[in-house]
Homo-oligomer: A and B are copies of this chain.
Amino acid sequence: MTNNEIEKKLESKNVKPTAMRNLVYKTLVDSGKALSLADLEQQFEKVERSTIFRALKTFEDNFIVHTVDDGSGSVKYAVCDDDCTCNIHDLHVHFYCTRCGRTRCMKELPIPNIKLPEGYTYDNAQFIINGVCPRCD
């Protein structure tokens, strides 16, 4: 993804593209998987944790990334689809490989609709499957 494309993308979501934000976004896209704050921090040594953190929060608030809590102990971030508004219709299964620790969006697997008992309302959901990925099998 070119820097230009990234800037367009962020602008289209009303986020001002800064050097840091572009870098964080590009890293997420290029990795093709969900990354934690610590993962990102490592990838570029010289950048402040809090800056990355705030970039991610901004992205999250503007439907640029969504979070995945895969039970590994740290929240991970993955890029949203273009048209994502992070509501029920955009929810999908996430796969956490217990061998390599990779977490992947299974966008082809929407979260199945569950009929809750009377009185419960449904805002959001996380469906994490733990297992071994093809790479590690």
Contact A116 B137, beta carbon cutoff 8 Å: no
9 example contacts (A-B, Cβ-Cβ < 8 A) are as follows: A93-B114, A95-B116, A98-B123, A106-B116, A109-B114, A121-B131, A121-B132, A121-B137, A123-B130
Additional pairs, 8, CB under 8 Å, beyond known A93-B114, A116-B131, A120-B134: A114-B127, A116-B129, A120-B133, A123-B132, A124-B131, A125-B129, A126-B127, A127-B127
- In the complex, which of the residues B121, B123, B126, B129 contacts A114, with contact meaning CB atoms closer than 8 Å? B129
CB distance from A123 to the nearest CB of B (A): 5
Copies in the complex: 2
Task: Give every chain B residue within 8 A of A119 (Cβ-Cβ).
Answer: 133-134, 137
Q: How many residues of A contact B (CB 8 A)?
A: 30
Q: Interface residues, chain A, CB within 8 Å of chain B?
A: 69, 71, 93, 95, 98, 106, 108-109, 112, 114, 116-134, 137
Contact A131 B122, beta carbon cutoff 8 Å: yes
Dominant SS among interface residues on chain A: strand
CB distance from A106 to the nearest CB of B (A): 8
Task: Give every chain B residue within 8 A of A116 (Cβ-Cβ).
Answer: 95, 106, 109, 129, 131
Task: Give every chain B residue within 8 A of A98 (Cβ-Cβ).
Answer: 123
Task: Give every chain B residue within 8 A of A93 (Cβ-Cβ).
Answer: 114
